[in-house]
Amino acid sequence: MNKKLFDILPVGFETRIYGSTDIQIHDICIDSRLIDEGALYAAFKGNVVDGHDFIDDAIRRGARCIVCEYASNKMDGITYIECEDVRGFIGALAHAFFGYVTKDLQLIGVTGTNGKTTVATLLYQLLSALGYTCGLISTVENIIGKDVVPATHTTPDVISLHKLIVKMKEAGCDYVFMEVSSHAAHQKRIAGLIFAGAVFTNLTLDHLDYHGTMLNYIHAKKMFFDGLPKSAFALVNADDKNGQVMLQNTQARKLTYGVKTMADYKVKIIENSIHGLHLRINDSEAHFRMIGAFNAYNIAAVFGVACELGIEKDEVLALMSGLRGAEGRFDQVVSPDGSKFAIVDYAHTPDALENVLQTVKEIKAEGTGIIVVVGCGGDRDKTKRPLMGSVACDYGEIAIFTSDNPRSEDPEAILDDMESTLDANQRKKMIRISDRKAAIKTAVMMAKRGDIIVVAGKGHENYQEIKGEKFPFDDKLILNEYLG
């Protein structure tokens, strides 16, 4: 792909240009190692690495244009564009370079602490079932039509994201549903993209290792809504106080969904059982296979988006009743004789864990117990660790604290943090087994007939990250092994 630089320069950015803009750009790169002849190199400042340190390397490899905040030594024959907002500028430039790809399809973004993957996946499943060709960009996987592409980040970097959406357009996708993480919004990985709609699920304690404060975390989510065009819709959870915050400055059409308060898409839970949810959404009723009050919110969000996309509501409800949602979200594993029951869930925040455990408490048989196996990730937000430990002990008859993805940290130190604020009654329920496989085995051995085992934190992940290496590990496979 070749484009003349002059033709793709975005407007609305303060820039200083040195050199000719009458040059052909072959590609856009933010990694100097991927540069080839005729490419444009964007120097991003990161938390660990500064792209400005690799400008000379990019030029040696063939870069003809450099976009940066500053260039100390300018070389003859190279075009330099200095800009304070390099990330935003590159997003807008990339959208032009790749042919304004989001103008030719409907792009829907989903943000929030919990529920992003489920909502995006349900939307993909629903519109695919209606006969549309769809794309999915999620924590679990990226899908182009029916072809699965492994996901490495919730939201890819700005160039990789544009290239992925180009592939989706080329595959004939009518809709693309994507998770928008707070990191992605803050780092402007979605810059330049034109969204047809946005969903806000909820906001609870998470990612403070990156954002520092809850206010910064809220602001990062809000940046997504602030950037929506007038042509888009913004659908937010009315039961979360931050929903209205998301709508404060958006130009998009404002819509709400909720269970507890009045909303454009109002849900009432008629029944919540082991067999699924019976819901009334506005003036229609339907039964859904998914379990738990938290999934009532996810279903309402999906219903709202589908209606805003012009899908007939009865058709939406009929198809949604058969959908199961994303992998690793309330996945059930049952022993062959049906005596023991386990749930694997990605819940890795205090709020998500409490939602899962509250649901289990509501659906379990009288006289049976809950055994919780839970850990916390290393090199991530430490403030949520004691909260996770407390929630597990509050709901579980037995709470086994174990390793999640310890990364560079000592697993025992993470368990110390989880245990740090437990009271005497909570400590009586707590067992420490840092080996995750041994912890799951212990839970299965301790479970009595009818008890429900909840293994939380990793969900769909089929690995465990320890000291920079990823080792094969799948909670569901381990449960199947010990449940027989």
- Whether 141 and 34 map to the same domain: the answer is no
Q: What is the CATH number of the domain that holds 242?
A: 3.40.1190.10
Q: How far apart are CA 172 and CA 369, in angstroms?
A: 49
CB count in 10 Å sphere of residue 171: 14
Dist CA 371 CA 444 (whole Å): 9
> Tokens at residue 6, please?
């002059």
The beta strand positions in 90-222, using DSSP E, are: 106-111, 134-137, 141-144, 147-150, 175-179, 197-200
Spatial contact of 139 and 116, defined as CB atoms under 8 Å apart: yes
Tracing tokens 């996901």 back to the chain, one arrives at: 151
CATH code: domain of residue 382: 3.90.190.20
Last residue of a domain, one of 291, 320, 349: 320
**C-alpha gyration radius of the chain:** 24
Taking phi first (over 0 means left), then psi (-120 to 50 degrees means alpha), and beta for anything else, what does residue 419 get? alpha
| Range(s) of the domain holding residue 227 | 101-320
Give the pairing type, strands 106-111 and 469-472: unpaired
Considering the domain architecture, whether residues 184 and 308 belong to the same structural domain is answered as yes
Backbone angles phi, psi at 98, to 5 degrees: -90, 20
Cα angle 213-294-176, degrees, rounded to a multiple of 5: 80
Quote the longest CA-to-CA distance of the chain.
79
Q: What is the pLDDT of residue 153?
A: 66
- Tell whether 189 and 281 lie within a shared domain: yes
pLDDT at 205: 60
Domain identity same for 150 and 292: yes
The CATH number assigned to the domain holding 10 equals 3.40.1390.10
Question: Considering the domain boundaries, does residue 297 fall inside one?
Answer: yes
Assess if residue 359 is contained within a domain: yes
- Reduce the secondary structure of 332-388 to three states and give it as a string: EEECCCCCCEEEEECCCCHHHHHHHHHHHHHHCCCCCCEEEEECCCCCCCCCCHHHH
Helix (H, G, I), strand (E, B) or coil at 406: coil
- The verdict on 113 and 92 lying in the same domain is no
The pTM (predicted TM-score) of the whole model is 0.84
Give yes or no: residues 252 and 354 share one domain: no
Whether residue 342 lies inside any domain: the answer is yes
- Co-location of 345 and 309 in the same domain: no
Same domain flag for 200 and 219:
yes
The answer to whether 57 and 41 have CB atoms below 8 angstroms apart is: no
Count how many domains the chain has. Answer: 3
325 domain-assigned: no
Query: Are residues 340 and 305 part of one domain?
Result: no
CA-based torsion, 42, 47, 49, 55: positive or negative: positive
pLDDT in tens, the chain (484 residues): 789 999 999 999 999 999 999 999 999 999 999 999 999 999 999 878 999 999 999 999 999 999 999 998 899 999 999 999 999 999 999 999 999 999 889 999 999 988 999 999 999 999 999 999 999 999 888 999 999 987 766 678 899 999 999 999 999 999 999 999 888 888 888 999 999 999 999 988 655 555 568 788 888 889 999 999 999 999 999 999 999 999 999 999 999 999 999 999 999 999 988 788 999 999 999 999 998 888 999 999 999 999 999 999 999 999 998 888 778 888 889 889 888 899 999 888 898 899 899 989 988 889 999 999 999 999 988 999 999 999 999 999 999 999 999 999 999 999 999 999 999 999 999 999 999 999 999 999 999 999 999 999 999 899 999 998 999 999 999 999 999 8
| 326 within domain boundaries | no
Distance CA 394, CA 274 (A): 21
DSSP SS3 for 117: helix
Are 14 and 83 in a shared domain?
A: yes
**Cβ atoms < 10 Å from Cβ of 248:** 10
Q: How many residues does the chain have?
A: 484
Among 300, 320, 340, the domain boundary falls at 320
| 82 and 128, same domain (yes or no) | no
* Phi/psi at 26 (5° precision): -90, -35
Phi (first) and psi of residue 110, to 5 degrees: -125, 125
Establish if 147 belongs to a structural domain. Answer: yes
Domain-terminating residue out of 295, 320, 345: 320
Shared domain check, 189 and 63: no
Residue 470: inside a domain, yes or no?
yes
| Helix 411-419 vs helix 385-395: crossing angle, to nearest 10 | 60
